Protein backbone atom coordinates (compact mmCIF):
# COMPACT_ATOMS: atom_id res chain seq x y z
CA UNK A 1 0.00 0.00 0.00
CA UNK A 2 2.83 2.41 0.86
CA UNK A 3 4.41 1.77 -2.53
CA UNK A 4 1.27 3.02 -4.28
CA UNK A 5 0.88 6.12 -2.10
CA UNK A 6 3.47 8.05 -4.10
CA UNK A 7 1.41 7.54 -7.26
CA UNK A 8 -1.66 9.38 -5.90
CA UNK A 9 -0.42 12.91 -6.82
CA UNK A 10 0.30 11.77 -10.37
CA UNK A 11 -3.21 10.34 -10.76
CA UNK A 12 -4.77 13.49 -9.33
CA UNK A 13 -2.71 15.73 -11.60
CA UNK A 14 -3.86 13.70 -14.60
CA UNK A 15 -7.49 14.33 -13.62
CA UNK A 16 -6.97 18.07 -13.24
CA UNK A 17 -5.13 18.56 -16.51
CA UNK A 18 -7.32 16.29 -18.65
CA UNK A 19 -8.36 18.13 -21.81
CA UNK A 20 -12.03 18.97 -22.29
CA UNK A 21 -13.88 17.06 -24.96
CA UNK A 22 -14.92 19.26 -27.84
CA UNK A 23 -18.52 20.39 -27.87
CA UNK A 24 -19.04 19.99 -24.14
CA UNK A 25 -18.09 23.45 -22.92
CA UNK A 26 -21.14 25.37 -21.76
CA UNK A 27 -22.23 28.45 -23.69
CA UNK A 28 -25.20 30.26 -22.12
CA UNK A 29 -25.51 32.86 -24.87
CA UNK A 30 -29.20 33.06 -25.73
CA UNK A 31 -30.26 30.91 -22.77
CA UNK A 32 -32.19 33.82 -21.28
CA UNK A 33 -35.15 32.63 -23.37
CA UNK A 34 -35.73 30.01 -20.65
CA UNK A 35 -36.23 32.64 -17.93
CA UNK A 36 -39.80 32.55 -16.67
CA UNK A 37 -40.37 28.95 -17.78
CA UNK A 38 -41.13 26.24 -15.22
CA UNK A 39 -38.11 24.43 -13.74
CA UNK A 40 -38.96 20.92 -14.95
CA UNK A 41 -37.04 18.03 -16.44
CA UNK A 42 -38.06 18.76 -20.02
CA UNK A 43 -36.97 22.39 -19.67
CA UNK A 44 -33.67 21.23 -18.15
CA UNK A 45 -33.08 18.90 -21.10
CA UNK A 46 -33.74 21.77 -23.51
CA UNK A 47 -31.27 23.96 -21.59
CA UNK A 48 -28.60 21.25 -21.79
CA UNK A 49 -29.10 21.02 -25.55
CA UNK A 50 -29.10 24.80 -26.02
CA UNK A 51 -25.98 25.44 -23.93
CA UNK A 52 -24.03 22.31 -24.99
CA UNK A 53 -23.27 21.63 -21.31
CA UNK A 54 -22.74 18.11 -20.01
CA UNK A 55 -24.00 18.78 -16.47
CA UNK A 56 -27.12 20.62 -15.34
CA UNK A 57 -27.31 21.98 -11.79
CA UNK A 58 -30.62 23.21 -10.37
CA UNK A 59 -30.29 25.98 -7.78
CA UNK A 60 -33.43 26.42 -5.71
CA UNK A 61 -33.95 29.30 -3.25
CA UNK A 62 -31.77 28.91 -0.15
CA UNK A 63 -29.81 26.02 -1.65
CA UNK A 64 -26.08 26.02 -0.92
CA UNK A 65 -23.86 25.60 -3.99
CA UNK A 66 -20.19 24.93 -4.42
CA UNK A 67 -18.27 27.86 -5.87
CA UNK A 68 -15.95 25.75 -8.02
CA UNK A 69 -16.01 26.58 -11.71
CA UNK A 70 -16.84 23.83 -14.16
CA UNK A 71 -16.80 24.81 -17.85
CA UNK A 72 -19.04 21.85 -18.69
CA UNK A 73 -21.83 22.75 -16.23
CA UNK A 74 -24.87 24.99 -16.58
CA UNK A 75 -26.54 26.31 -13.43
CA UNK A 76 -30.27 27.02 -13.57
CA UNK A 77 -31.60 29.20 -10.75
CA UNK A 78 -35.19 28.64 -9.71
CA UNK A 79 -37.38 31.20 -7.93
CA UNK A 80 -39.81 30.48 -5.08
CA UNK A 81 -42.58 30.08 -7.66
CA UNK A 82 -40.71 27.22 -9.38
CA UNK A 83 -39.85 29.28 -12.45
CA UNK A 84 -36.39 29.83 -13.90
CA UNK A 85 -34.81 33.14 -12.88
CA UNK A 86 -31.30 32.75 -14.37
CA UNK A 87 -29.20 30.43 -16.53
CA UNK A 88 -25.41 30.63 -16.45
CA UNK A 89 -22.39 28.48 -17.06
CA UNK A 90 -19.93 27.35 -14.46
To the nearest whole percent, how much of the chain has pLDDT over 90? Answer: 73
Q: How confident is residue 8, by pLDDT bands cut at 50, 70 and 90?
A: very low
pTM over 0.75: no
Write the CATH number of the domain with boundaries 22-89: 3.30.10.10
Burial of 54 (0-12, 13-18, 19+ CB in 10 A): middle
pLDDT, one tens digit per residue, over 32-72 is 999 999 999 999 999 999 999 999 999 999 999 999 999 99
Amino acid sequence: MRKLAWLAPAFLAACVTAPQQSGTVCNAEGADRFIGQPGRGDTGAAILRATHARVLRWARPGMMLTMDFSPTRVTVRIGPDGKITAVNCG
